[in-house]
Structure 1
Amino acid sequence: MAAFGHTFPFYAGPKPTFPMDTTLAIIVTIFLTALITFIIILPGIRGKMRLFWLFRVVTSLFIGAVILAVNFSSEWSVGQVSTNTSYKAFSSQWISADVGLQVGLRGVNITLTGTPVQQLNETINYNEEFTWRLKENYAEEYARALEQGLPDPVLYLAEKFTPNSPCGLHGQYRLAGHYTSAILWVAFLCWLLANVMLSIPVLVYGCHMLLATGIFQLLGLLFFSIATPLTPPCPLHLGTAMLHFHHGPAFWITLTTGLLCMLLGLAMVVAHRMQPHRLKAFFTQSVGENPGLEWNPEEGGLLSARYRSTAESPKPQYISLSEASSQEEHSKVPDPAL
């Protein structure tokens, strides 16, 4: 390569980037497919049940999609800065670029975009990921990045998250990522159980599972906030500017969804205590549709069959045997006109 005028280090061309994380794209596609399928069959549902089912399905799919999506998202802690910084090692040339840092539960994503993109006769548009998932070695990924000769800003930020870095960010975010992800998987399991129990329906336990879904999401946020500082122990200098952290979209949407689950669960618990028949009607639409079924508060608020007592039943009409035989003989008397 030196014979063709290239200088060390050798930089590979920018990798083609997908505008969205492929894992998140798959999750969104699955839940959108389920929603579209339900919308197609929605006209077959009668009356007010159509609105009830639409509200339930949209809310449930939204909660499930958020729990899965944030678990794989890389935007729990984010930071971005526009700066003038060095581009290559052993070079005095500087570039003007936007540097972004996204920290997720499974690793770090670093972006470098030139302003403008074409500078120094190159396309400056990098999107690099360094993970600490199970069976993944962050130090080895960083070593490969050094061998590839990635730009200085990318290597500088990636080095701050290595296990041997004096900043100590690797241990904090890796621990927070593992335990927060585990808590979110428990929340997703509670969401599945809530859907099953509300469909049977076992409303009391379904309400409790919905409450548990929100509680586990908030617990995951609490653990992540305690384990990861918003102000890093060491400053992150990028050329003439400094990069600062703040909570990203994944954090705030998880907080919103957790509070939503808590509010819905509490509302359903209160409704079950105050007016259980209305809650039962909302989920089954069976009250008033079958006259043989009536509300029986003595049986825990469930719909049960109500049978008539002996006093309420109409008295049967008995016909004596002699009366029946006389009526038969009268019908057999020949007509004198014949």
Structure 2
Amino acid sequence: MTLWNGVLPFYPQPRHAVGINVPQLIVIVVFLALAASFLLILPGIRGHSRWFWLVRVLLSLFIGAEIVAVQFSAEWSVSAVSTDTSYKAFSAERVRAHVGLLVGLGGVNITLTGTPVQQLNETIDYNERFSWRFGQSYAAAYVQALAKGLPDPVLYLAEKFTPSSPCGLHRQYRLAGHYASATLWVAFCFWLLANALLAMPVPLYGGLALLITGAFALFSVFAFASISSAPLCPLRLGPAALTPRYGAAFWLTLATGILCLLLGGAVVGFHYLRPRALRIFLDQSVKDCGSQAKGGSPLVLSNPLHQKLGASDLTISTNL
């Protein structure tokens, strides 16, 4: 420690918390650009179908953006507390700080903000991320944090999620994140398929694809909830304890899954009960949807030769 004149090897310059999740921001910007592009061409759509298209496209973009954005969100499980805690290793000095723990599908974010920020002649404002996605080592990231000399509260919480910790939080949340992420990507694929099918004269299959989208979105929620509901070891910082709870990404995914189920059920129900109203909402002509002949029903064809012959109907049975 003589190189630092007795000062522990903390950051040579103050670190400030990063409040922007770049991958999540990119996803939101891309979908907002798609929505803005649609709004620019919306005045070119005439009649009442303009509002039907507005509702359809904006709802669809919201569902797609939510499914992708929550993949990169750190707010599946959140907890925060304000407490008096130790700040440096091998030091009796304590600080008043707000500590936050954000667990996502791909890792954990730990924030430490002093109240006030300036204490002990330092700026106490940290936001550290430790990832367990495929190809990334959580243990290596923790070793790097030790080498940096991060504050005690950050290292304490990060240590609880290491693979060697007796708490078992790493395996618990890592499995939850992997299963939830996989089912969300499947939901995104079915969302793309539902959009393609609803643009064709096959609304029934589009509604079924929406139902499957909602089912897989709910599977991701249930996977995260069931795996992360095991007993947790206590996370204490000074006299206070961190109590994890489900965050905004969890509840938003749950709401999106229910929304997809409702929309898919509505499409399937209207297909059988009010097919004409469904065709009007989807801006499909009666001729397109009416050409979906059932087994045994006749298919009526008309052509110029038929009109010249003066025949009234030319019927070809589909039973042949």
* Alignment TM-score, normalising by the size of structure 2: 0.89
Question: What is the deviation of 1:284?
Answer: 2.4
Output the amino acid matched with 1:267: A
Q: CA deviation at 1:280?
A: 1.7
- Residues 273 and 156 from structure 1, CA distance in 2 versus in 1: closer, same or farther, beyond 3 angstroms? same
- Which residue, 293, 298, 320 being the options, matches 1:299? 293
- For 2:8 and 2:128, the matched residues in 1 are separated by 21
Q: Which secondary structure state, in structure 2, belongs to the residue aligned with residue 183 of structure 1?
A: helix
Question: Are the counterparts in 2 of residues 231 and 244 from structure 1 also a CA contact under 8 Å?
Answer: no
Cα distance, 1:286 vs structure 2:
2.4
Match of 2:116 in 1: 116
Q: For residue 17 of structure 1, report the CA deviation from its aligned partner.
A: 4.2
1:85-100 correspondence to structure 2 within 5 Å: 85-100=85-100
CA contact (8 A) 2:81 2:241 kept: yes
| Alpha-carbon distance in 2 for matches of 1:184, 1:140 | 28
Q: Give the residue type in structure 1 aligned to 2:208.
A: H
Q: CA deviation at 1:278?
A: 1.8
CA distance in 2, matches of 1:219, 1:131: 23
Give per-residue Cα distances to partners, 1:254-275, cap 9 Å, x unaligned.
Answer: 0000000000000111100112
The match for 2:55 is 55
Structure 2: which amino acid aligns with 1:245? P
Q: Is the 8 A contact 2:201 2:288 kept in 1?
A: no
Q: Note closer, same or farther for the CA distance 1:181–1:262 as it changes in structure 2 (3 Å cut).
A: same
2:285 match:
286
Distance 1:189 1:160, change over 3 A: same
SS in 1 for 2:282: helix
Q: What CA distance in whole angstroms lies between the structure 2 residues aligned with 1:263 and 1:83?
A: 44
User: Would you say 1:157 and 2:151 are equivalent positions?
Assistant: no
Q: Name 1:264's counterpart in structure 2.
A: 263
Structural mapping, 1:194-209, within 5 Å: 194-209=194-209
Structure 1: 5+ residue runs without aligned partners? 288-292, 314-338
Residue aligning to 1:273: 272
C-alpha distance in 1, partners of 2:216/2:294? 29
Distance 2:164 2:206 in 1: 47
Q: Find the aligned partners of 1:298 and 1:114 in 2 and give their Cα distance.
A: 66
- Give the superposition deviation at 1:33: 0.5
Name the counterpart of 1:238: 237
Q: CA 1:3/1:198 → structure 2, altered by over 3 Å: closer, same or farther?
A: closer
Contact 2:106–2:132 (8 Å) recurs in 1: yes
- Residue 279 of structure 2 contacts residue 289 of structure 2 at CA under 8 Å; is this kept in 1? no
Q: 1:10: Cα distance to partner? A: 3.4
| Gapped regions of structure 2 (runs ≥ 5) | 314-320
1:8 Cα deviation after fit: 2.2
State the number of aligned residues. 306
Q: What residue in structure 2 maps to residue 248 of structure 1?
A: 247
| Match in the other structure for 1:41 | 41
Shift of 1:277: 2.1
Matches within 5 A, 1:17-28: 17-28=17-28
Change (3 A) 1:295 1:138: closer
Instruction: Quote the Cα distance in structure 1 between the aligned partners of 2:83 and 2:53.
Output: 51
- What residue identity is the alignment partner of 1:118? Q
Distance 1:67 1:4 in 2: 48
Q: What does 1:119-130 correspond to in 2, within 5 Å?
A: 119-130=119-130
CA distance in 2: counterparts of 1:198 and 1:18, whole angstroms: 41
The CA deviation string for residues 136-182 of structure 1, in whole angstroms up to 9 with x for no partner, is 11111101100100000000000000001010000011111111100
What is the CA RMSD across the aligned residues, in angstroms? 2.4
Q: In structure 1, what residue type is equivalent to 2:169?
A: L
Q: Cα distance, 1:312 vs. partner?
A: 5.5
Measured against aligned partners, the alpha-carbon deviations of 1:7-44 in whole angstroms (never above 9, x if no partner) come to 12433434344432001110000000000111111111
Give, in whole Å, the separation in 2 of the partners of 1:298 and 1:124.
Answer: 67
- Indicate the percent of aligned positions where both proteins have the same amino acid: 55
Say if 1:217 and 1:258, in contact at 8 Å, map to a contact too: yes
Give yes or no for the alignment of 1:11 onto 2:25.
Answer: no
Cα distance between partner residues in 1 of 2:27 and 2:288: 43
- The answer to whether the 8 Å contact 1:294/1:305 transfers is no
The 8 Å contact of residues 16 and 125 in structure 2, kept in 1 or not, is answered as: no
1:68-217 superposed matches below 5 A: 68-217=68-217
Contact 2:42/2:50, CA 8 A, preserved across alignment? yes
Note if contact 1:214-1:262 (Cα within 8 Å) is conserved in structure 2.
yes
What is the TM-score normalised by the length of structure 1? 0.85
Q: Which amino acid aligns with 1:114?
A: G
Runs of 4+ in 1 over 2 A off after TM superposition: 1-6, 8-19, 284-287, 293-301, 304-313
